[in-house]
Amino acid sequence: MHSLTFSNMSKAYGGVPALADVTLHLAGGRVHALMGENGAGKSTLIKLIAGVVRADSLTVIKDGQTLPLTNAQDAQDAGFRFIHQELNIVPQVSVAENILLGRALPRRFGVAVDWADLRAQARAALKFLGATHIDVRALAGDLPAGDKMMMKIAAALVAAQGTPADLYVFDEPTAALTGEESDMLFAVIERLRAGGAAVLYVSHRMDEVLRICDDVTVLRDGARVSTKPVADTSKAEIIQAMTGRDVKDAYPPRSSAMGDTIARVENVQTRDLHDLTFDIKAGEVLGVSGLAEAGQSRLLRLFMGLNRVQSGRAEFDGAPLPNSPAQAWARGVAYIPRERRADSLCLNMAIRSNIVLPHLGRYGLRAQKRRERRDAVDMGQKVRLKSNGPEQPVGQLSGGNQQKVVFARALLGNPKLLLLDEPTRGVDVGAKYDIYLLVRELSAQGCAVILTSTDLPEILGMCDRVLVLQDGRQAHLLDRAALSGSGDLLTRFYSAEQGGQ
């Protein structure tokens, strides 16, 4: 059996370490899980061993021999195969062509594609995986998600033609799969393992990892926290390792009381959300959490009039929910979308213009540059914005400062309800803390806040109650008492994903 060691793996982006001196030992015939929260360094680690990103330092030793690894070709030559989370398939062509994508297609008479041979090769690869039900002549785009995954694994096998692959890396492979499809995948992984290959399995699905993996390495903040055989650890221990930072210091404590209920949602159903029942008080911070795409953004959009209530009762500030973003802003709902560049900012426009954008109506018909500038400067100071003045184009600011511009916009209206969709994503640590302080100040002024985050410590540190979503359905509504026994919440959070399948 092979042994593979990746040691001294380090990578910094612009001076900020994404991965610091991580070592990973893999062995043929074993499945090794790599776990960690978003931003823990999992993706960076995979990119380094795939040769996609140049490491600051990295030593690869395979069976006692040092291997070069500076580009994607080196990784291929070393026998490493990668099955990525977002499957890059060509939907318009056949399964067989996708499986042999990027390889020289078999030819007849030197010019014509030898379709029979092409299909035979693709079939052989699928047969090895036990996925003989897939028609190699079908269009790749027509396959269900699980079959697409099989197709990509088959492509990885074919690419290994000649040199057998020694390492398969799966990056969150079950994210888009049904339970049944996942089972099929696990059977394939078992087969690869039995064949003597090493498997690196990246996931944050706890139960999966416990079920199919032999060893588990946990990353946190770019460093390795622990590596243990799965048999010697437990769910609770792994979660502790993943989230073990000191929650108290990273988040300013809340210091104000809550007021009356400002929004109420009862048995609400929309096209893509179900069974929502919750209320929110003035000054409260309600967290919305769950797996990626469980409906967090859709829930926020409900209050912007972008997601229609089909049944049930929902009201905000004593009236039905706003039916358009224009009405929402006018009624004191401020919205900070997840995609800052795509959905929030006009990058080529001035800070001032971006801040006053939803509030232009308040200045009257005639544009009032001077008043706008004064407001923009005031708000900029409030959010601790660092810039060269209100006329600087937003596109020139750092991610954290851009986000502060978006906050300044929200604050300018003295909102009654603030909707925050992953507000600290792509924001540096210092700016993060400023943003938390702002949330606290706003709730002290009686503004209700709904905050979505896939960063669990952030949810725990900032929120008074947490609504856990699962496939668009409200799964739990946890209050302060449940939150204080945080282990319980964590377990629920990470098991929510299992129930969803």
List interacting residues with another protein (CB under 8 A).
304, 306, 324-330, 335, 337, 342-349, 353, 357-358, 360-361, 363-367, 393, 409
Q: Which two tokens stand for residue 292?
A: 């990626």
What is the distance, to the nearest Å, from the Cα of residue 233 to the centroid of all Cα atoms in its chain? 26
**Cβ distance 376 to 390 under 8 Å?**
yes
Q: Which H or E element spans position 469?
A: strand 465-470
In terms of CB distance, is 259 or 325 closer to another protein?
325
Q: How far is the CB of 373 from another protein (least distance, A)?
A: 13
Q: How far is the CB of 313 from another protein (least distance, A)?
A: 24
**Cβ distance 259 to 281 under 8 Å?**
yes
CA–CA gap between residue 180 and residue 187 (Å, rounded): 11
Is residue 499 exposed (0-12), middle (13-18) or buried (19+ Cβ within 10 Å)?
Answer: exposed
If DSSP codes are grouped into helix, strand and coil, which group holds residue 162? Answer: coil
Q: Order of strands across the sheet with 261-269?
A: 276-281, 261-269, 311-316, 319-320
Q: How far is the CB of 342 from another protein (least distance, A)?
A: 6
In terms of CB distance, is 110 or 364 closer to another protein?
364
In terms of CB distance, is 121 or 353 closer to another protein?
353
Q: How far is the CB of 488 from another protein (least distance, A)?
A: 36
Q: How far is the CB of 174 from another protein (least distance, A)?
A: 31
* Alpha-carbon torsion, ordered 190, 196, 200, 206, to 10 deg: 30
Q: How far is the CB of 364 from another protein (least distance, A)?
A: 7
Of 220, 223, 251, residue with least CA distance to 429: 251
In terms of CB distance, is 173 or 423 closer to another protein?
423
In terms of CB distance, is 26 or 420 closer to another protein?
420
In terms of CB distance, is 447 or 460 closer to another protein?
447
- Residue found under tokens 């087969």: 191
Is residue 164 exposed (0-12), middle (13-18) or buried (19+ Cβ within 10 Å)?
Answer: exposed
In terms of CB distance, is 113 or 360 closer to another protein?
360
Q: Which two tokens stand for residue 325?
A: 């973003």
Q: How far is the CB of 468 from another protein (least distance, A)?
A: 26
